[in-house]
A and B are shown apart, each in its own frame.
Chain A
Amino acid sequence: AQTVTQSQPEMSVQEAETVTLSCTYDTSENNYYLFWYKQPPSRQMILVIRQEAYKQQNATENRFSVNFQKAAKSFSLKISDSQLGDTAMYFCAFMKSTGNQFYFGTGTSLTVIP
């Protein structure tokens, strides 16, 4: 079975600063996909960024980037120039390349302080 661990239940960051959210996972698969999802107070989950395990280059989406360390099974999310709208719960997720199931971590609640 696949497990996803987010060891930081809560974090805070000053507006305009940079914050990194941690995620580790456990799998015996070689090919898989990793995702970060954001859940704002409105509850609607939206995709922030995704990474394919076979790609060595770290994914970036505007102010969001990942540090993907395949050997260490680590997939952290860096948010640069934090904005008040980044306040949300962030979930790390894993999916096997051959499967249909998404496995989620327990989430990190991020608060951006003005």
Chain B
Amino acid sequence: NAGVTQTPKFQVLKTGQSMTLQCAQDMNHNSMYWYRQDPGMGLRLIYYSASEGTTDKGEVPNGYNVSRLNKREFSLRLESAAPSQTSVYFCASSRRVVGPGELFFGEGSRLTVL
């Protein structure tokens, strides 16, 4: 059972470089999310996609773009990386049709921007 798969797991960038974090889920979930986790700040929502074809900003969207490519895939792009974007990034998905949709998380991607 793959669940939520995100790649890469580790990445080092130089300031100004761009990169895309990929995320795919095989649970036929409607909603997908990108969070960043920083020490002492918990998880903060960057962007989410309630359903295929829609995306919405979360708490900290600046410096990021997303694409909901299809129902399975939701990518996060950093166009011009900054040291403040050094973080651990988590992709998650949720069925969220009726009732409390449990979040299923990927294993995280550790990004360092030098």
Contacts and interface: CB of A to CB of B under 8 A. Distances in A.
A37 B92 CA distance: 13
A46 B3 CA distance: 12
B88 interface: yes
A44 B102 contact: no
Contacts, number: 53
Interface residues of B, number: 25
B74 interface: no
Interface stretch (A11-19, A69-77, A102-110): A102-110
B6 to A, nearest CB: 11
A100 interface: yes
Interface residues of A, number: 25
Nearest to A44: B107
Contact of B103 (A9, A37, A44, A97): A37
Given A47-B102, A95-B100, A9 B107 contact: no
Residue of B40, B58, B92, B100 contacting most chain A CB atoms (<10 Å): B100
A22 to B, nearest CB: 14
A101 B100 contact: no
Interface in B72-114: 88, 90, 92, 94, 96, 99-103, 105, 107-108
A86 interface: no
A102 B108 contact: no
A43 B108 contact: yes
Give the top 6 A-B pairs by smallest Cβ distance, nearest first: A33-B100, A45-B105, A106-B42, A104-B43, A100-B50, A43-B108
Interface of A: 6, 9, 33, 35, 37, 42-47, 50, 52, 91, 93, 95, 97, 100-107
